[in-house]
Amino acid sequence: MSNVVFHRALTGQRWDGVEVLAYKEAGTTFQSVTRQVLFEGDPALCVQLRYFEVGPGGHTTLERHQHVHLVWISRGRGRVYVGGEFFELAKGDVLSIPTLTWHQFRAPLNSPLGFHCLVAADRDKPSLPSDQDWRELTQSREAAAFLRR
Amino acid sequence: MSNVVFHRALTGQRWDGVEVLAYKEAGTTFQSVTRQVLFEGDPALCVQLRYFEVGPGGHTTLERHQHVHLVWISRGRGRVYVGGEFFELAKGDVLSIPTLTWHQFRAPLNSPLGFHCLVAADRDKPSLPSDQDWRELTQSREAAAFLRR
């Protein structure tokens, strides 16, 4: 039988026993993002729960993958691009990122955006946009102004 | 390709496009609990995300099952019994309910307890305590004072 996982919430979107990690090991496809892993998965619930925080003016990687994200906004506000659509985000909002759909989260210039993100523990690696993808993604003026790679 | 699920947070722990449901269809094993389903599951992420709110003085069903709960507290505070342990709960706390482990959440007498609860979409039905289970569960004074069935 597995043990209870219990992470008490501390101040400032930190949790007892949870380390603040780099968003990704390396790369220049993102800016000002941290990651905390709140649940590593269990044989009877094969998911990971992570908390990401995007600093003021920062953004996550523009990417897509087979696996689905289930996201809820936990701090501040921001904006997300999902497969050609934009959503304004505020605390408490719940959204999914469908399979194989380009997406990128951005925080406002003056405040952070924090969100919980749930994924299958067994999942594929994200793909980055090719030059051809990038040209197609940034054809609209709104997308060209928002997206970064 | 599946579509984006987007539920904007409204005031009072409600979400746009999400209905407030009964916790369970019937029964007397719980008190003052509502349920909202925020994510129904996707072939690439086979989980359901629910928001439960336990009214002042209320409690969830004392039960156990093979499937695991991943829970985070979203409103107020409360207390949970998990397999012989008690945890005081406050907003932001993250915990799991392990497989086959008796558990029950209770709200304080004067305020609600709200929590998000994630489960596998394909899961077993909960079991209720038999008379023998109940005698064993309530042997400690603390458990006898806390648990309801």
Domain architecture of chain A: domains with CATH: 21-146 (2.60.120.10)
| Residue B130 predicted with pLDDT over 60 | yes
For A14-138, strand residue ranges (E) read 21-22, 31-39, 47-59, 69-82, 85-90, 94-97, 103-106, 113-120
The C-alpha atoms of residue A15 and residue A17 are separated, in whole angstroms, by 6
ipTM above 0.85, yes or no: yes
Q: Which percentage of chain A shows pLDDT scores above 70?
A: 99
**B116 CB near a chain A CB, below 8 Å?**
yes
CB-based contact (8 Å) between B91 and chain A? yes
Is residue B14 within 8 A of residue B51, CB to CB? The reply is no
- Ranges in chain A, pLDDT < 70: 1-2
Tell if the CB–CB gap between A70 and B94 is shorter than 8 Å: no
Percent of chain B at pLDDT > 70 equals: 99
CB atoms within 10 A of CB B62: 22
Q: Is B89 on the interface with A (CB under 8 A)?
A: no
Residue B3 pLDDT exceeds 90: no
Dist CA B119 CA B70 (whole Å):
7
Selected residues 125-144 of chain A with any CB under 8 Å from a CB in chain B: none
Asked if the Cβ–Cβ distance from B67 to A45 is below 8 Å, we say yes
Instruction: Give catalytic residues of A, as residue numbers.
Output: 117
Say yes or no: B118 contacts chain A, CB-CB below 8 A. yes
| pLDDT tier for residue B28 given thresholds of 50, 70 and 90 | confident
Q: How far is B113 from chain A (nearest CA, A)?
A: 15
CB A96 to CB B42 under 8 A? yes
Q: Quote the pTM value.
A: 0.95
- The pLDDT of residue A24: 85
